Amino acid sequence: MFKTTLRPLTLAVALAAGTLAAHAENPMVGGAAMFEDKNIVENAVNSKDHTTLVAAVKAAGLVETLSGAGPFTVFAPVNAAFDALPAGTVDTLLKPENKDQLTKVLTCHVVAADAMSSAIGKMIADDGGTHPVKTVGGCMLQAKMDGDKITLTDETGGVATVTIADVKQSNGVIHVIDKVLLPKA
């Protein structure tokens, strides 16, 4: 009787360990666990490093879109990236009358695909060192490698580095970046 009871318990422990291991594969972002079974918005709201991005997504009315089926690849700037913009830029963008401009900036960080860093790296290599990336906002980014890190050059010549790659989501993937990507004026 003891063996019969022990076997289901062992199976339950093994299944629980497997579940924890699946969640452990995703890196922590902003001090929070990122779960593959949650969507981009559900995970982003828990990152203390992405409060400005989350506020901007809400102000632009993109919560429903980024909670949708996707797939999406989101290059997610940290708060410090927004802080590095000229003084007043974020406050100006968050005003209701600037919703279209805010939406354009944010959608220049989103690609309609599930692109893990290994796939992006392969595209960069296959294209001779630079791979064009078209965003849902119509921006054209240039993806390159800098050592083992992916960089993205925006339409104004600004360069963002992927600091945390391959944060899997139920509707795509997030790559954390250190600069806000801007469309050409």
Domains in the chain: ranges and CATH: 2-177 (2.30.180.10)
Which is more confident, 50 or 22? 50
Q: Which residue has the tokens 């003891």?
A: 2
**What confidence category does residue 115 fall into, taking pLDDT thresholds of 50, 70 and 90?**
very high
Amino acid 8: pLDDT: 40
Mean pLDDT confidence for 95-119: 95
Handedness of CA 174, 43, 155, 157 (dihedral sign): negative
> Each residue of 60-78: pLDDT tens digit?
999 999 989 989 999 999 9
Token pair, residue 97, equals: 């009358």
CA distance 29 to 25: 12
Give whole-number Cα distances, 81 to 17, 37, 84, 119, 141, in Å. 37, 27, 5, 25, 17
**Whether residue 154 has pLDDT greater than 80:** yes
| Contacts with 42 (C-beta within 8 Å, 6 or more apart), sequence order | 35, 67
CB 174 within 8 A of CB 54: no
Identify whether 8 is preceded by a cis peptide bond (ω within 30 of 0).
no
For the whole model, what pTM was predicted? 0.84
CA distance 167 to 108: 19
Q: Percentage of residues in the chain with pLDDT exceeding 70?
A: 87
Give the H/E segment covering residue 60: helix 51-60
> Each residue of 127-145: pLDDT tens digit?
999 999 999 999 999 999 9
DSSP single-letter state for residue 150: E
Give whole-number Cα distances, 8 to 16, 63, 93, in Å. 12, 42, 56
